[in-house]
Chain A
Amino acid sequence: MEFDELQKIWDSQNQQAMYRINEDALHNRIHTKKQKASRITAISEGLLIGVNAGAGCFVLALAGSKSGSTLFMNLLAGWMLVTAVAVLVSRIRRLRRENRFDRSLFGELDHAIAMATYQVRLSQLMRWNNLPIALLVVSGVWSGGQSLYLALALVVFFILVNFATGWEHRFYIARKLELETLQKKLQQG
């Protein structure tokens, strides 16, 4: 068969549509999806900003209301507030970069890779951020004369958090690799 014949076979489907569309169901679906304007990245950023700012303010208020040594609590509150500001700044930078990609497939893949890279960096940053927070919390508990079991329980908790953030980080890395492979395929002859 020559290519012209393949073309004729292909063109034969232009005469009769192979599917029917349930238009009501389609409009319902679009309406539902439209409500979900926030994407995963925006939710992650919002959560990180909210949780860190909220917890930071709470710890700061708690430290202010207590007498005695509150060095670790103040440090912890400061660290959390700085983290919230850092995530907010990186979110603003990300949004400014949003429209710099062209609308070809290559451009869209570039955009998706940039988004995946951002998620990889954010998840890595949050993973490492657990370490100083864990150290400050455990030190605060320890210096406050709390029981050893409470300090150990907190250590176990932060180890679990570290596993969870590691899983999230690996998920984003895998997604980024898939997109990069796709872009390589596009460039190859």
Chain B
Amino acid sequence: MTESEQNHTFNLWLRQHKVQIFKIVRAYASTEMDQDDLFQEITIQVWHSIPAFREASSVNTWIYRIALNTAIKWVGKEHKHSERRESLDNVQVILQEAKVPPDERLTWLYEEIHKLDEIDRSLTLLLLDGFSYKEMATMLGITESNVGVKINRIKKQLIARSKQLNTYGI
């Protein structure tokens, strides 16, 4: 694959699947700077992965898997180096917030997702984006029954918290 073919595929994938990447970025990184950093990490990994893509899975599943794996490992590395990065990595901002009217309920949902640990966060995103238990199990490398146990626990937790939200009148 030539570099220009790789760039072409990358641009196409980015246009078609950027919303999925944005969701993962927002779920794993809180500050604008961290979101920008994680977005860069994910897109670089996606770019590198293009020659290895063999169409055994859909592009969406492929990108989602790369984005989640990058985000989960990024969280571990992140908080220790964020201060140093702020001073060193004074590069152009890549991700800019679009002028979308804020949705309080969506913000709340992201806050709740953010309270989960890295693994549960990935399962919640996969669940909300409509992946089957089988796809989740393949992406994460765990059994379907383990996925089921985790999903049930997460669903119960989110529903219970949403009831508290209703009491506050949001």
Contacts and interface: CB of A to CB of B under 8 A. Distances in A.
Interface residues of A, number: 43
Contacts of B149: 189
Chain B interface main SS type: helix
Interface of A: 1-3, 5-7, 9-10, 12-14, 16-23, 25-30, 33-34, 102-109, 112, 178-179, 182, 185-187, 189
Shortest beta-carbon contacts, A-B, top 9: A106-B141, A104-B141, A1-B162, A25-B92, A189-B149, A10-B128, A105-B140, A185-B119, A20-B96
B103 to A, nearest CB: 6
Given A21-B96, A105-B141, 20 more contacts: A9-B103, A13-B19, A13-B22, A13-B103, A13-B106, A17-B18, A17-B22, A19-B35, A19-B97, A25-B91, A28-B92, A30-B10, A102-B141, A104-B65, A104-B139, A104-B141, A105-B72, A105-B140, A108-B69, A112-B73
A26 B37 CA distance: 11
Contacts of A16: 98, 100
A17 B128 CA distance: 17
Contact of B159 (A1, A27, A29): A1
Contacts of B65: 103-105
A185 B96 CA distance: 33
